[in-house]
Amino acid sequence: LYLKYHVKVHDYFDLIILYIGSRIYYNLINNNLEDTMKTIKKKKKDNLTKDDLIYLMEVEEPKELEAIFNKAYEVKKREIGQRVFYRGLIEFGNYCVKNCYYCGIRKDNIDVERYHMSKEEIMSSVRWIYANGYGSVALQSGERRDPQYIDFVEDIIREIKKIGDIGITISLGEQTEETYQRWFDAGAHRYLLRIESSTDRIYKSIHPNDELHDFETRVNCLKLLKKIGYQVGTGVMIGLPDQTEEDLVNDILFYKENDIDMIGMGPYIPHNDTPMGQQELNIPSKQKRVELGLKMIALTRLYLKDVNIAATTALQGLDPLGREKGLKAGANILMPITTKDEHRAKYQLYNDKPCIDDNADKCKGCLEGRINSIGEEIAYGAWGDSPHFSKK
């Protein structure tokens, strides 16, 4: 009897403790949620402070995260509409003069089969992009600065302009002012050059310490591009070793300070044949890197409002629904890979890059379904310039 009674008392006691505990937990979450809502609902333009951004960047509770993403999506809808803009991405060559510690096509990786697409191959991809109403083309390659390459790119840009009314984004690394100007005069009007990390300490730790990989030079390139008149895009990798929430917030502040028009950023994904991929580095889990990536998109949208933000392939590399989640967290640009099938697998900057076994036609149908499933429309035929740039 005593034992039975004793157990019962314990049961009641445990239940009461459990109840009180759950109330405290419930209140804690809801108080946090209230704080989070208050922070993201600040009305006046640009009045999220650095501390607000850090507070939001540290949020991990699913309900609070959802509130942040929803609010960012609202801002995206208001500024841009329920539309997604495409840039057909052509990765036309994987020769690179640089040796970034994280990248699979770095110069010293001898296990990569190098390729350079011919003019005819590139133009055939461009024709496909135009015929399918993608509105804009994005040209990307490893970094090269030899005169032959510079002439080749200039010629390609001129040829693309002859095809029809199609926007041209290029992402071809650090070049001289003269080269940037030549490509601009040929008809390219947007340039993507990721700063990779705006924190000097991190930049230095993920690149060799020499003049080919100099932080100041890279920042200066962004300034040159702006001076020439490009719409300028930059971005960072997310979840790098030793990267704190504050570092990421500083990246967002960097976008603002440099009056950036377009943002392309995604999680860091190790590549086996790179110095960083071969070390046991302390980086957040895949899931955390996706979460951080989505928070970066959402907070950039909340802070900068009218810029173009891409939901990158790297997000999908870590989460099959990564790109859709990116769009729901405030992104408005997708860059479907339209590189010729035979070259796709050779442009692997990180392990397990998605879509390398696909072709442009298959990707088109697949993406359309994914976008419609979240209630968004593809703005076929539109250039999709950055509203931030157009307002200037």
User: Which residues sit at the interface with ligand SF4, rule CB under 6 A?
Assistant: 96, 98, 100, 103, 105-106, 142-143, 173, 349
106 binds, among ligand 5AD, ligand SF4, none (CB under 5 to 8 A by kind): ligand SF4
CB of 173 to ligand SF4, least distance (A): 5
Nearer to ligand 5AD, 68 or 193 (CB): 193
Q: Which is nearer to ligand SF4, 264 or 330 (CB)?
A: 264
Bridge partners of 116?
93
The smaller minimum CB distance to ligand 5AD, of residues 80 and 237, is found at: 237
Tokens of 273: 């044949």
Q: Identity (one letter) of the amino acid at 146? A: D
Residue type, 320: P
What are the angstrom distances between the C-alpha of 330 and each of 232, 233, 235, 297?
A: 19, 16, 15, 6
Among positions 349, 355, 378, 379, the unique one binding ligand 5AD when judged by CB under 6 A: 349
CA distance 357 to 99: 27
Rounded Cα distance, 254 and 326, in Å: 21
268 binds, among ligand 5AD, ligand SF4, none (CB under 5 to 8 A by kind): ligand 5AD
Find the shortest distance in angstroms from Cβ 26 to ligand 5AD: 38
Q: Which amino acid is at 65?
A: L
Compute φ and ψ for 246, nearest 5 degrees: -65, -40
Residue list 235-274, contact with ligand 5AD (CB under 6 A):
237, 266, 268-269, 271
- Minimum gap (Å) between residue 143 Cβ and ligand SF4: 4
Could you say which residues in the range 114-153 bind ligand 5AD, by CB under 6 A? none
Q: Rounded to an integer, what distance in angstroms lies between the CA atom of residue 260 and that of residue 191?
A: 11
Structure tokens at 85: 């803009």
Asked if 215 is part of the footprint of ligand 5AD (rule: CB under 6 A), the reply reads no
- Residue 191 near ligand 5AD by CB under 6 A: no
Given ligand SF4, ligand 5AD, none, residue 72, with its beta carbon under 5 to 8 Å by kind, binds: none
Contact partner at residue 194 from ligand 5AD, ligand SF4, none, CB < 5 to 8 Å by partner kind:
ligand 5AD
**Which listed option, ligand 5AD, ligand SF4, none, makes contact with residue 336 (CB within 5 to 8 Å by class)?**
none
Nearest to ligand SF4 of 140, 308 (CB atom): 140
Out of ligand 5AD, ligand SF4, none, which partner does residue 139 contact, by CB within 5 to 8 A per kind?
none
CB of 349 to ligand 5AD, least distance (A): 4
Q: Does 98 bind ligand 5AD (CB under 6 A)?
A: no
The helix-helix angle for 50-57 and 245-257 (nearest 10°) equals 140
Is 213 a residue that touches ligand 5AD (CB under 6 A)? no
Of the pair 103, 302, the CB lying nearest ligand SF4 is at: 103
103 near ligand 5AD (CB under 6 A): yes
Q: Which residues pair with 237 in a beta bridge?
A: 266
Binding partner at 230 among ligand 5AD, ligand SF4, none, C-beta below 5 to 8 Å by kind: none
Q: Pick out residues in 162-181 that bind ligand 5AD (CB under 6 A).
A: none
Residue among 310 and 379 whose Cβ is closer to ligand 5AD: 310
| Closest CB 314 distance from ligand 5AD, rounded Å | 5
The per-residue DSSP string of 282-324 comes to ----HHHHHHHHHHHHHHHHHHH-SSEEEE-HHHHHH-TTHHH
- Which of the listed partners (ligand 5AD, ligand SF4, none) does 271 bind, with a CB threshold of 5 to 8 Å by partner kind? ligand 5AD
Q: Write out the H or E segment, with its range, that includes residue 170.
A: strand 167-171
Q: Which is nearer to ligand SF4, 140 or 231 (CB)?
A: 140
Return d(Cα 141, Cα 139) in angstroms, integer: 7
CB 329 within 8 A of CB 69: yes
d(CA 306, CA 262): 9
- Residues lying near ligand 5AD in the complex (CB under 6 A) are found at 102-103, 194, 196, 237, 266, 268-269, 271, 314, 349-350
